[in-house]
Amino acid sequence: MKKIILTTIISSSLLFSASNPSKNYEYEVTGYAAGILSDSSNKLKDDNYLNGGLSIAKNLEGMMIDQVELGFLRSQSVEYSTGSNTNMNTIFLNAIKKYGITDKLSAYGLAGLGNQDVSQELGENKDSIFFNWGLGLRYDIPYYGMAIKSDIRHLYAFENSRNDIMYTLGLALPLGKKYKEPIVAKVPLVEEEKKPVVIDGDDDKDGVLNSKDLCPDTLLGVQVNENGCELDDDNDGVINRLDKCPNTSEGIKVNNEGCVATIDLKINFDYNSAKINDKYLNQINKFAMILKENKKLTATIEAHTDSKGSNKYNEILSLKRANSIIKELKNSGINVSRLTPIGYGETKPIAKNTTAEGRAKNRRVIGLINQ
């Protein structure tokens, strides 16, 4: 009978095990194997018997508790000391609060009510509503959204003041991802056609004749060179009027604003983690290439956290995140003397910390090229 119950739990769990590398999900389904050490007043031949079952938990945000769990357990066939048999069908509804210990390991407490249905009542072993509470540990398996859980619970039955102890082992699987990554449309750039050069005259009134004017539509009143084009003092290809970085060193690549042609180094982290997701490595490599091409440039790595945890802890965590980026840039050949880490902790949020999505946006690192 024990083998049948265990096989049922494993098969039912696999039914819901669509691999989900994200921990952002709405529900959690858990297959349980449990033992109950029953009060000796029940007159059972073996007062330590096996149970198996399933529970489904709803993940909550912004509340005192983290989950609400509804579960069902069924016992093996249990023998009374008189020789007859019975089964125990247990339904429970619990509130669960988690307490993080490490990135993947956490403790949790639970409390709630339930009902135990005895298929064949005998003596003190009767149907009863019960109160239960307990403590446990869970380990979140990296990348798959699954977790291994184990706890011990005290069950107090109101009908006959019975005290039972339950110990459980479960495999939790995610169900229902909360949000999808946004799809960003790429708009192709279309270059405007150059207008033909007008011969003779000075239509744009810049002091250069049309026949020599390579920039025939210069704005009125701006300074131009002998070719009728606006001045570019730092020779970076961007005219002074539009150049936001007018003192760029010679030979450095710039964008259309006259500043270093760079990319946005925007990296997000998992909760309570300083580990870089592999999907950002290509972005970091491109950032490193800009620093390699421009040996005189330096960069500042600014890191942030969400609001969970103390201010001091979040300041330390944010600095760890900044240093993890610097370590990756060092591995790409960038001297760390050119890189400055800053950990802002939770002091500069860009989104609300009251939602999981907002907290995910706040767990970020930004890389800034110093012009």
pLDDT digits (tens, 9 = 90+) for 345-354: 999 999 999 9
- Average of per-residue pLDDT across 329-338: 92
Instruction: For 192-238, write each residue's pLDDT tens digit.
Output: 777 665 557 777 777 778 877 778 777 777 777 877 787 777 777 77
327 residue type, one letter: K
**pLDDT computed for residue 17 by the predictor:** 41
The angle formed by the CA atoms of residues 348, 350 and 353, to the nearest 5 degrees, is 90
- Out of 73-87, 95-109, 160-174, 258-272, pick the least confident: 258-272
Asked if 303 and 258 count as a contact pair (C-beta separation under 8 A), the reply is: no
Domain boundaries, the chain: 8-177, 196-231, 265-370
Q: Which CATH class is domain 265-370?
A: alpha beta
Find out whether 247 and 234 touch, Cβ atoms under 8 Å: yes
Q: Are 168 and 150 in contact (CB under 8 A)?
A: yes
Fold of 8-177: Porin (2.40.160)
pLDDT of residue 10: 46
Task: Give which of 14, 166, 151 is closest to 75, Cα–Cα.
Answer: 166
pLDDT of residue 42: 72
The span from the CA of 66 to the CA of 111, in Å, is: 12
3-state secondary structure the chain: CHHHHHHHHHHHHHHCCCCCCCCCEEEEEEEEEEEEECCHHHCECCCEEEEEEEEEEEECCCCCCCEEEEEEEEECCEEECCCCEECEEEEEEEEEEEEECCCCEEEEEEEEEEEEEECCCECCECCEEEEEEEEEEEEECCCCCCEEEEEEEEEEECCCCEEEEEEEEEEEEEEEECCCCCCCCCCCCCCCCCCCCCCCCCCCCCCCCCCCCCCCCCCCCCCECCCCCECCCCCCCCCHHHCCCCCCCCCCCECCCCCECCCCEEEECCCCCCCCCHHHHHHHHHHHHHHHHCCCCEEEEEECCCCCCCHHHHHHHHHHHHHHHHHHHHHCCCCHHHEEEEECCCCCCCCCCCCHHHHHHHCEEEEEEEC
Backbone angles phi, psi at 2, to 5 degrees: -60, -40
In this prediction, residue 144 has a pLDDT band, given cuts at 50, 70 and 90, of confident
- Which pLDDT score, from 0 to 100, does residue 258 have? 74
Question: Cα separations (Å) of 280 from 158, 190, 285?
Answer: 56, 29, 9
Find the mean pLDDT for residues 52-64. Answer: 91
Higher-pLDDT residue of 134, 370: 134
Two tokens, residue 231 = 């001045």
Both tokens of residue 245?
A: 């970085």
Q: Which residue has the tokens 């760079």?
A: 262
Which phi and psi (to 5°) does residue 256 adopt? -75, 0
Mean pLDDT of the chain: 83
| Identity of residue 62 | G
